[in-house]
Amino acid sequence: MARFIGQGQGDTDMKNGTADRATSQYRDKSWYLVQCKPRQDERAEEHLTRQGYACYRPHCRRERLVRGHRQEATESLFPGYLFIHLASNDNWSPLRSTRGVNRVVSFGGRPIIVDDALIAQLQHRAEPSVEKMLQPGEAVRILEGSFAELDAIFLSMDGDDRVVLLMNLLNRQQQISLPLASIRVH
């Protein structure tokens, strides 16, 4: 008796050359790229999932300055796109009328298959870390306080709410610490 281990489907016995139907169908499936309507990738994923399709939309977390405050937001890694797992003999017609879906990306009228290894790498790299908004050496403008309307260079964060900046004052390089809310990227 041979044993076959399906990807995420558990162990399946293979007796007399017949495999479990669900595992067999899984092996025949491939990943495809779906282009979504503008800013509707989350909506498309939700509706496709409700219809029983397996979807994958990689996310990343980013920091943003909103009205002077840092906020962490989760965004699509590839805005406007998601991946769908389908067999070539599945019913593709509901995809065209699904809310948020624009089209399946194709070349020469044939949908493009995305390599399973690429999807596996994306899933493996899905990390919870936050991509920092400000990078050392980036030019910033001070918005308020005694240095308002002056330019500086971002050096580092000083805790959660403050930044260390490098400024040219009286022909000398000076480091100053200001509230994060009082600067913007120049």
Domain containing residue 153: CATH number: 2.30.30.30
> What are the strands of the beta sheet with 69-76, ordered from one edge?
69-76, 59-66, 130-131
Residues 146 and 77 in one domain: no
Structural domain of 166: 139-185
Query: Which tens digit of pLDDT belongs to each residue from 32-90?
Result: 999 999 999 999 999 999 999 999 999 887 777 777 777 778 888 899 999 999 998 88
Distance CA 165, CA 175 (A): 6
Residues 44 and 83 in one domain: yes
Residues 114 and 75 in one domain: yes
Query: Do the Cβ atoms of 92 and 104 come closer than 8 Å?
Result: yes
Mean pLDDT of 144-169: 88
pLDDT band at 132 (very low <50, low <70, confident <90, very high): low
Residue 127 confidence (pLDDT): 52
